[in-house]
Structure formats: C-alpha cells, structure tokens
C-alpha cells in the first residue's frame, strides 16, 4: 500500500453474527499498526437477522471518509454467502473475497444456496470457508467468524502480532479462556489462507 492509497475493507453479514465485532477488530488492528482509520457501520445493527455491513478505511495519510465507494474496496469479508454476493459491487476489479459458506436463512424467498456458492466460486480470488463447521470443531459459536478474519488477515497490511494484540485487547475483559479461543480460531483461519 503506497503512502497516498487508502485500503478499503467491507465486512458484511446479518444481525447477530458478529460483523460489528469483526469490523472493530480490523479497526483496532489498523490503528495499532499506525494507520489513520475510520469506520462506518452501514445497516441493520438493531435488528437481529437484518443486514449488517461495515466499511473500514485506513491509510498512512489522512482518511477523510469512512464510506467506500462502489468499485473501490480492496477486500470483502462475508460472514454470510448471500451478503457476500450483495456487496460485490463495492470491490475493485480482481479484489479478493473471504466468505463463509454457512447460510443464515432469514427470509422466505432465500435464493438457492448451491447457486449462491457456485456463483461465489466462479469469481476470481475467492476463499470460501464453512464457518459453522469451524465453530463446531472449535467449540464456540463465533469461532468460524474469527477464522474468516484470520484467513483474510494475510490480505491486509497488518502483521500477525498486531492482530493477536487486537484480539487480546478486545476479549481480555471476558477472561483468558475467551482470549485463547479467539486466538486459536484466528490462527486456524490464518492456516487456511
């Protein structure tokens, strides 16, 4: 990332999934890395199951807006596959996507899951992770989302030690066990990327 360039990250999911937590971790890690950073939470945080997305913009130079224009994001982290598809228009051409394959069926006319996944797989630079299976394997409900962040972390100009520091700071009030679970999930995702 050159000095004048912003890095735009979109985190997309549905209410109750932890999109805001993932966004806050990215914001904290960027700030701890010495970047200027702004975040804008865009939709639905008050309604469980409604769309939730956040824009995080960081740069070595001054950041003047937290809003990412269509076609300018550097990375999309999708906690839900349909939400990943809904936010593709924000990405630069060829920008990477890290998406969960685990659907949250929150509407009567939810599209065919297999079609959503095959559409995502047809895109360039996409990594699809079964976050529900990871959560089950790791033994805690948000483990899959933290693993998605771990997988996406290689695509951002932030070191592993800073990510670990941000995770530790975010969860330390919940106790050492929660910190350890989240660090383990992050490293599990990092190994998948």
Characterize the bridge pairing of strands 97-100 and 36-41.
unpaired
Is the predicted pLDDT of residue 2 greater than 90, yes or no? no
Position 43 confidence tier, pLDDT thresholds 50, 70, 90: low
CA–CA gap between residue 184 and residue 61 (Å, rounded): 33
Tokens 């593709």, residue?
88
Summarised one tens digit per residue, pLDDT across range 118-130 is 999 999 999 999 9
Q: What is the pLDDT at residue 184?
A: 97
| Dihedral sign from CA coordinates of 118, 143, 159, 27 | positive
pLDDT at 48: 59
Question: CB within 8 A of 177, min separation 6: which ones?
Answer: none
Distance (Å, rounded) from C-alpha 43 to C-alpha 13? 10
Per-residue buried b or exposed e for 58-77, using 16+ beta carbons within 10 Å of the residue's own CB: bbbeebeebebeeeebbbbb
- pLDDT tens for 105-115 read 878 899 999 99
Higher-confidence position of 193 and 128: 128
pLDDT band at 193 (very low <50, low <70, confident <90, very high): confident
Per-residue DSSP letters for 142-192?
A: THHHHHHHHHHHTTSS--HHHHHHHHHHHHGGG-HHHHHHHHHHHHHHHHH
Q: Assess whether pLDDT exceeds 60 at residue 1.
A: no
Element (DSSP H or E) covering residue 143: helix 143-153
Spell out the residues 6+ positions from residue 191 whose beta carbon is closer than 8 angstroms to its own.
150
Sorted by where each begins, the domain ranges of the chain are 8-102+111-192
- For 49-98, the pLDDT digits (tens) are 678 899 999 999 999 998 899 999 999 999 999 999 999 999 999 999 99
Which CATH number among 3.40.920.10, 3.30.379.10, 3.40.1000.10, 3.40.50.740 corresponds to the domain 8-102+111-192? 3.40.920.10
Can you give the pTM of this predicted structure? 0.93
Whole-angstrom Cα distance, residue 122 to residue 189? 22
Say if residues 55 and 67 touch (Cβ distance below 8 Å): yes
């Amino acid at each position: 990332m050159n000095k004048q360039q912003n890095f735009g990250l979109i985190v997309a999911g549905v209410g109750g999934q932890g999109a805001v937590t993932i966004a806050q971790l990215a914001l904290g890690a960027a700030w701890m890395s010495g970047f200027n950073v702004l975040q804008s939470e865009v939709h639905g945080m008050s309604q469980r199951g409604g769309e939730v997305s956040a824009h995080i913009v960081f740069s070595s130079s001054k950041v003047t807006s937290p809003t990412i224009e269509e076609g300018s994001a550097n990375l999309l982290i999708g906690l839900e596959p349909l939400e990943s598809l809904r936010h593709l228009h924000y990405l630069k051409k060829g920008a990477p996507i890290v998406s969960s394959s685990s659907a949250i069926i929150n509407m009567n006319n939810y599209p065919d899951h297999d079609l959503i996944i095959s559409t995502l797989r047809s895109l360039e630079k996409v990594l699809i992770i079964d976050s529900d299976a990871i959560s089950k394997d790791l033994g805690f409900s948000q483990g899959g989302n933290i693993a998605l962040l771990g997988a996406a972390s290689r695509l951002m100009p932030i070191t592993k030690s800073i990510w670990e520091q941000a995770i530790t700071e975010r969860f330390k009030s919940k106790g050492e066990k929660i910190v350890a679970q989240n660090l383990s999930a992050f490293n599990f995702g990092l190994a998948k990327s």
